């Protein structure tokens, strides 16, 4: 889901999770529209230097090819992102996680935009206070 586009002024985590059908690497049109709408919403927040895309699958001994499925999900999302955000460098990764580490069924990919002009989130020193 949309993460931290307005919760904190200095938050640098700007990401969205896109869902896939089980055992599929086909990004549905509903998810493409969600990604396009989200990009339009966050485009004005910062200038972005690059993006990270992680394709995810859940490990399951019954089904093989989980790593390949995760990679295909990352590739599908990266391809759409490339078309929607031309010129933005995209770094893809794919990972397989055990079911107990995931908040869902593991049928998703995450896009994170990395700002280059985000405010400094370091705490401002208070005069006279020793850390």
Q: Is residue 125 part of a domain?
A: no
Q: Which pTM was predicted? A: 0.80
Q: Is residue 34 part of a domain?
A: yes
Domain that holds residue 106: 14-115
For residue 25, give the DSSP letter.
Answer: -
Model confidence band, residue 39 (pLDDT cutoffs 50, 70, 90): very high
Model confidence band, residue 6 (pLDDT cutoffs 50, 70, 90): very low
CATH code assigned at 102: 3.30.1330.60
Residues 86-121 pLDDT 10s: 999 999 999 999 888 877 788 999 999 999 877 777
Q: Tell me how far CA of residue 64 lies from CA of 26, 67, 78, 96, 100, in angstroms.
A: 18, 8, 23, 11, 18
Contact call for residues 115 and 14 (beta carbons, < 8 A): yes
Q: Is residue 20 part of a domain?
A: yes
Residues 41-62 pLDDT 10s: 999 888 999 999 999 999 875 5
Say how many domains are in the chain: 1
Q: Is residue 131 part of a domain?
A: no
d(C-alpha 102, C-alpha 52), whole Å? 19
């Amino acid at each position: 889901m949309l993460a931290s586009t307005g919760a904190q002024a200095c938050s640098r985590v700007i990401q969205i999770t896109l869902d896939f059908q089980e055992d599929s690497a086909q990004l549905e049109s509903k998810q493409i529209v969600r990604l396009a709408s989200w990009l339009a919403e966050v485009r004005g927040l910062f200038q972005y230097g690059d993006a990270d895309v992680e394709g995810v699958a859940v490990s399951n001994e019954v089904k093989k090819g989980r790593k390949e499925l995760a990679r295909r999900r990352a590739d599908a999302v990266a391809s759409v992102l490339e078309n929607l955000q031309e010129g933005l460098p995209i770094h893809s990764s794919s990972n397989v996680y055990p079911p107990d580490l995931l908040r869902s069924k593991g049928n998703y990919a995450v896009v994170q935009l990395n700002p280059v002009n985000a405010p400094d989130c370091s705490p401002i020193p208070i005069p006279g206070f020793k850390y």
